[in-house]
Chains A and B, each alone.
Chain A
């Protein structure tokens, strides 16, 4: 065996973090709970500080007045894209399927996410700043001269975001329950000894949602960006600490690398190769990261950039940061596949237990204090995505539905003029279609946004309780598949003059119909039960072959074909609109 001890003698403070099994599970659970509560309080204080910097305008509340520089943009984009999927989902999926998950989603995301930032993000930011867009729907409405675009796009975006939010809600409940096990044995008994006395998911996820809502409501986009930056640093640092502690405990070697070698020795061969993964499926996973080009919450983060140069740091560092987060989580999941690491019954039904792998190992192999800190790190990854999703849903509802359709109807029926506050007028887009909007006073807009966010969070929370135990990984893949299905629309809107409003609307409807069909036949994303009683992922075969592919392929193909066909047959936007977007002194292609 190679001797790497000289390379891996980490500071003694890290060695001190190595665990002993807590002799008193009640006090251990309570200590972890107190650390989590302290972390929540810290976040609320951060949100409060951000509030003091808030300017009295919609533009500042929703887009931080286009003031976000390179580092904050990098951290908020990375924190937003790394969700429960990246930590809890990746370790769980590696426990089920092995190392293939890194190539399927992590390394390809490093390439494709940065490509989306470069080709889509910079362009969206440029037009957004020039024409005053606040949301994705604003952009499509203005670019395609289509005042009613929101009626097509808004329900689809919300429909796709709910499974994403749901993943965060389920993950936070699972993590809090696992890591506070033993704290309240009288109040929260459980048939599984490992979870007895833990704060139940309905309570844990409720508190997480309320904390996120608090700093989003009062800090707006600036508070969200600050919290994202802080939480991203927290989960990156604590993720590496988690990896180190678990590696040393599982491998029990003299140094990190010898421990890693010991930990992987008993792992089944299928987990350290991709021998059971089909080539065709691996190739089609390449489409999944394109979803980042159409996430409405990422779109809103792009619009916060101070200037185009602010995108350079996120483009370069995003792939490296993905590697730093995913490699440790995947190795932990792979090590967990070795016999005896997890409870015996988990190996027979890995898909049913995959969400609990990371938090179980943290609970079992760390001291209560470190366990609490690591729990805060996992929750930081979840919350740094929930906040952006909450804010963007509220923004879209206020900007694209309430101000445009609800208030307009009220104003017409009451024949009353609405005096917009100066702040709101400053926030109003200058594009042609944007003139259709009837702005509401800034304070009213903010409260309407908050009301809608509360409604969606309540729906997601109830679904999260009902659907607890669903695979976060698979829920997320379905969400990403829908957003990838919309990718041809944003690409065409930015680079093809021939795109029409009708073509876009037909594409949106096609995506929604095909996505709903495949979601239904796949057992609502959870796979199908085999005759042996074991749940397996849904397989879609290319007709006449044995190539299995992801449903994202037919969804994206159908959307593209319909978009092109209908666009060729229907009238294009006005010459004035096309001139605003395409006729510049310099050609806008990379």
Chain B
């Protein structure tokens, strides 16, 4: 649980992953999947 550290991430990086997804959002989407796996 102490995932909490990973949550506090890319702050002013405007890179678009794949040309359509802001990297800050992409990171947290990946984190959501990691959290799901961790709870499993």
* Chain A interface residues (CB < 8 Å from chain B): 1-2, 4, 99-100, 102-103, 106-108, 110-111, 114-115, 118, 257-258, 260-261, 263-264, 269, 272-275, 277, 279, 282-283, 286, 315-320, 322-323, 327, 330-331, 334
Q: A319 contacts B20, CB within 8 Å? A: no
Q: Contacts A99-B25, A320-B33, A327-B25: A111 and B3 contacting too (C-beta < 8 A)?
A: yes
Q: B11 contacts A274, CB within 8 Å? A: yes
Q: Mark B1-40, 1 if CB is under 8 A from A, else 0.
A: 1011001110111101011111011001101110110011
- Select A107's contact among B7, B11, B13, beta carbons within 8 Å: B7
Q: B39 contacts A114, CB within 8 Å? A: yes
- Chain B's closest residue to A317 (CB) is B36
Q: A272 contacts B7, CB within 8 Å? A: no
Which chain A positions have C-beta within 8 A of B32? 106-107, 110, 319-320, 322-323
Give bound CA distance, A263 to B18, whole Å: 13
Q: A2 contacts B40, CB within 8 Å? A: no
Q: A269 contacts B14, CB within 8 Å? A: yes
Which chain B positions have C-beta within 8 A of A277? 11
Q: B8 contacts A283, CB within 8 Å? A: yes
Q: B9 contacts A273, CB within 8 Å? A: no
CB-based closest 3 A-B pairs: A260-B20, A275-B12, A272-B22
Q: Contacts A316-B40, A317-B36, A327-B29: A273 and B12 contacting too (C-beta < 8 A)?
A: yes
Q: A319 contacts B16, CB within 8 Å? A: no
Give bound CA distance, A115 to B38, whole Å: 11
- Chain A's closest residue to B27 (CB) is A103
Q: A274 contacts B35, CB within 8 Å? A: no
Q: B25 contacts A330, CB within 8 Å? A: yes
Give bound CA distance, A12 to B26, whole Å: 28
Interface pairs (8), CB distance under 8 Å: A103-B24, A107-B7, A110-B35, A264-B20, A275-B12, A277-B11, A319-B39, A323-B33
Which chain A positions have C-beta within 8 A of B22? 99, 264, 272-273, 334
- Chain B's closest residue to A251 (CB) is B20
- Select B28's contact among A106, A260, A269, A318, beta carbons within 8 Å: A106
- Select A274's contact among B20, B21, B24, B29, beta carbons within 8 Å: B24
Chain B nearest CB from A325 CB (Å) reads: 11
Give bound CA distance, A37 to B7, whole Å: 42
Which chain A positions have C-beta within 8 A of B11? 273-275, 277, 279
Give bound CA distance, A405 to B14, whole Å: 60
Q: B9 contacts A103, CB within 8 Å? A: yes
Which chain B positions have C-beta within 8 A of A318? 39
- Select B16's contact among A4, A100, A272, beta carbons within 8 Å: A272
- Chain B's closest residue to A101 (CB) is B25
Chain A nearest CB from B21 CB (Å) reads: 7
- Select B8's contact among A4, A258, A282, A330, beta carbons within 8 Å: A282
Q: B40 contacts A111, CB within 8 Å? A: no
